[in-house]
Amino acid sequence: MLDNSTIEIEDVANLLSAPSQPQLWDDLDEEDHDDPAMVSEYVNDIFGYLKEVELTTMPNPNYMDMQPELDHVKRGILVDWIIQVHKHFKLLPETLFLCINLMDRFLSARPVSAPKFQLVGLSAFYIACKFEEMMSPTVEEMVYLSGGQYTTDELFRAERFMLKTLNWNLGYPSPMNFLRRISKADDLNIETRTVGKYLMEIACVDWVLMATPPSLLAAAAMWLGRLVLGREEWTHNLIHYSSYSEEEVIPIANMMINYVLSEPPHVNLYAKYAAKRYMKVSVYVRQWALNHWSEGDEIDLTDDLSMLKIEARELRLKAEEEAEIPV
C-alpha cells in the first residue's frame, strides 16, 4: 500500500511539474481591462452562460408536423414580410432575431390556423420591439401593418397569450452577441461582419437552419464570410472565440451557400442586403457562389474546399502585393 501511494504521489508530482501546453490563441480581452463597459473579467463566464441558455430557448425544428394549416413556404413568406417591416422601422438586428425565435417557439407549443398566422408574427414582432428597442412602434402601427385584419384588442390578447405560453421567457441569446464576440478575432472587420449578418438572417427565412444554435450559426456565418472575402484561414483565435472548429461550422455554412445558390425566394431579405448601406453583400455573395457553381446546385463544400482556399489565398496575396506597390 505504501509503495502504491508513493507511486501515485510521484505521478501527481510529475504531472504538476510537466511543462504546460502553449496557449495558441491571444487574449484579446486584455486590452479591454480598463474599460468597465466591456466587463473583460466576466466575459468568459457571460458567454459560457449564453451557450447554456441558447439550448433552452431553441424551437422544435419539426413543429410544422403539428401545424396542419401551415407549411415552411408560408412561414418563409411571413418572415420575409417581417424583415421588410423591421427594415422600415430601422430596428436593431437583435429585435428581428428575437421576433423569429419567439414566433417559432410559440408555434412549437401551439397549433395555429392559417388566418391567425400573421397575427402570431405581429405579436412576436411587437413583443421583441418592446424588449429590445428604446422606442417601439405603437400598437396602432402594428394594426395598420396588418392591413386592418386584426384589431388592437386582438393584438393585445395575442400578445398576452404568447407571453403566457412562453412562460415569459424572453432571454434569447441572439446570434448577434456571438458574432460580435467572434469579430474581435477578425480584427473587427466591417465587411466580414456585414456578410455574416446577411448569412445569419438566412436562418430566419430558411427552416433547414432552425435547429442550429445561435453560437454555431454566428461561427458558420463568420467562417463563410471570410471564405467569400478571400480570408480562408480559420485561425486559433477564431476557433477559441467562436468555440467551434472548422469541421463543426462547415455543415452549417454548406446549408447557407445552398440557399444562396437557389433562386432568391425571399425578395425582401435579398433586397435589404443589396442596398449600399449593407455594402450590397447579398449581390456579392450570390455572384461569388455563381462563379463557382450553377443556380439550383446542391453542393457539398468539402468537395471544393481545397480549391476555394487556394483561390482565396492567391487573391489575398495578389491584393497584398498590389497594396505594397507605391503609387
Do 186 and 94 belong together in one domain? Answer: no
Indicate the pTM of the whole model: 0.89
Do 268 and 302 belong together in one domain? Answer: yes
Q: Decide if 53 is inside a domain.
A: no
Q: Decide if 48 is inside a domain.
A: no
In contact, 179 and 221? CB cutoff 8 Å: yes
Q: Decide if 41 is inside a domain.
A: no
d(CA 287, CA 15): 54
Show the CA angle centred on residue 269, arms to residues 284 and 119, nearest 5°.
170
Q: What is the pLDDT of residue 56?
A: 94
Q: For 166-216, what is the HEC assignment?
A: CCCCCCCCCHHHHHHHHHHHHCCCHHHHHHHHHHHHHHHHCHHHCCCCHHH
Q: Decide if 5 is inside a domain.
A: no
Do 190 and 309 belong together in one domain? Answer: yes
Do 85 and 157 belong together in one domain? Answer: yes
The enclosing domain of 219 has a CATH number of 1.10.472.10
Q: What is the pLDDT of residue 243?
A: 94
Do 179 and 225 belong together in one domain? Answer: yes
Q: What is the pLDDT of residue 201?
A: 98
Cell of 104: 417559432
Do 179 and 138 belong together in one domain? Answer: no
Do 180 and 105 belong together in one domain? Answer: no
Local structure of 68: helix, strand or coil:
coil
d(CA 101, CA 69): 20
Q: What is the pLDDT of residue 264?
A: 82
Q: Decide if 42 is inside a domain.
A: no
Which residues lie below 8 Å from residue 149, measured CB to CB, with a gap of 6+? 118, 119
Q: Decide if 39 is inside a domain.
A: no
Which residues lie below 8 Å from residue 165, measured CB to CB, with a gap of 6+? 106, 109, 110
Do 320 and 186 belong together in one domain? Answer: yes
Out of 142, 165, 188, pick the residue that ends a domain. 165
Q: What is the pLDDT of residue 4?
A: 54
Do 222 and 311 belong together in one domain? Answer: yes
Q: Decide if 14 is inside a domain.
A: no
Q: Decide if 43 is inside a domain.
A: no
Out of 165, 197, 213, pick the residue that ends a domain. 165
Out of 109, 131, 165, pick the residue that ends a domain. 165
Per-residue pLDDT of the chain (327 residues), as tens digits, is 445 555 566 666 565 555 566 787 566 666 766 656 566 667 777 888 889 999 999 999 999 999 999 999 999 999 999 999 999 999 999 999 999 999 999 999 999 999 999 999 999 999 999 999 999 999 999 899 888 899 999 999 999 999 999 999 998 999 999 999 999 999 999 999 999 999 999 999 999 999 999 999 999 999 999 999 998 899 999 999 999 999 999 999 999 999 999 988 899 999 999 999 999 999 999 999 999 999 999 999 999 999 999 998 888 888 777 777 665
Q: What is the pLDDT of residue 34?
A: 63
Do 66 and 132 belong together in one domain? Answer: yes
Do 188 and 104 belong together in one domain? Answer: no
d(CA 248, CA 308): 18
Tell me the CA distances in angstroms from 244 to 39, 43, 210, 253, one per residue in order: 23, 17, 18, 13
Q: What is the pLDDT of residue 319?
A: 77
Could you give the number of structural domains in the chain? 2
Do 134 and 180 belong together in one domain? Answer: no
How many CB atoms within 10 Å of residue 13? Answer: 10
Q: Which domain holds residue 84?
A: 61-165
Among 178, 302, 318, 198, residue whose Cα is nearest residue 256: 198
CA dihedral 42, 47, 52, 56 (to 10 degrees): 120
**19 Rama class: left (phi>0) / alpha (psi -120 to 50) / beta:** beta
Local structure of residue 55 (DSSP, 8 states)? T
Which residues lie below 8 Å from residue 272, measured CB to CB, with a gap of 6+? 83, 84, 87, 201, 278, 282
d(CA 273, CA 240): 29
